[in-house]
Amino acid sequence: MKNIPDCVPDALQLVIDTAKLVSDDAFIHRKVLSKVLGEISEDPDFGNSPLEFTFRCLKSAYRALGVKDPYETEKARSNKAMLGLEKGFRQYLDVAPDRLGACINLVLASSIDVDVLGRAEAERDILERLGNPLALDDRETLLKSLTRAESVMYILDNAGEIVMDKLLIEEIGRKCRVTAVVAAKPLLNLATREDAEAVKLDEVAEVADPGAPMLGLTLEMASSSFREAFAEADVVIVKGEYNYEALCGTEREVFFMLTAYCANLARKLGVPTGAGALVHHPGVKKPVAVEVGSEKKRT
């Protein structure tokens, strides 16, 4: 989606932000940054993609910090704050003429930093965003697919917002089986199994993970059993920008739900930066080699 050098400042800022969660000591921050810079300088190609590069930087930072989950406290606060809003938004859904559509709107509106805003401001922000039309809205295609589905894979993004994901998953789960996919191991504020259990998401869906740590759901890194489940699900719904970057070239049909905070992503989608989008990805057809006489041609 963008050249790897373009993402270097963003990746290093994530490293610094992560270090600051662990310690206020500027010496520690410099030490971690130096460690990361030393490791990435050994590979002039910076890896194969921006996601891989960023993931490598974060893995190096986590090793240097020696902390399993620097975002644990932040994620717990986000989960608690959003749980505090759950009852009110359930009441909003109870009077909505189209409950499933309202759940979709709520999920897209709740992609906010509730840990920074606080509970009251987060509620106001979500309510304001509920009134904004999506820049891209392929929900009709999604709704038609859901009417025929028996199984849905719902790939989660961040902690906190998974409370609103739960409401949509619960609604979808009235008619079909839903698997909610979390991060295999803690990374940034990505939702893990512990977060899912904290918000009782495991009570409305089966919780699974891709079998390996990663930034953005990269199928090549996932377990064979997960890849099989991904391929066989009737509908796949994917949350978040990292997951979009990882899966936008996948061969199968996927529905992406995200807020385009990244300017590069916004340009790719043709939407304003910060706009919400529900994008239907019909799948990328893989070229097939066919025999023509003694030669092989790709179609």
Burial readout 62-81 (b: 16 or more C-beta within 10 A, e: otherwise): bebbebebbbbebbbbbbbb
* C-alpha span between 130 and 118 (Å, rounded): 18
CATH architecture of 72-281: 3-Layer(aba) Sandwich (3.40)
The pLDDT value given to residue 1: 46
Model-wide pTM > 0.85: yes
Measured in residues, the chain has a length of 299
Per-position pLDDT tens, the chain of length 299: 445 677 888 899 999 999 999 999 999 999 999 999 998 888 766 667 889 999 999 999 999 999 999 999 999 999 999 999 999 999 999 999 999 999 999 999 988 766 555 667 878 888 888 878 899 999 999 999 999 999 999 999 999 999 999 999 999 999 999 999 999 999 999 999 999 999 999 999 999 999 999 999 999 999 999 999 999 999 999 999 999 999 999 999 999 999 998 888 899 999 999 899 999 999 887 665 555 555 555 55
155: left (phi over 0), alpha (psi -120 to 50) or beta: beta
Domain ranges of the chain: 4-65, 72-281
The kind and range of the H/E element at 103 are: helix 99-109
**Crossing angle for the helix pair 4-22 and 50-65, nearest 10 degrees?**
20
Buried b (16+ CB within 10 A) or exposed e, 2-35: bebeebbebbbebbeebbeebeeeeeebeebbeb
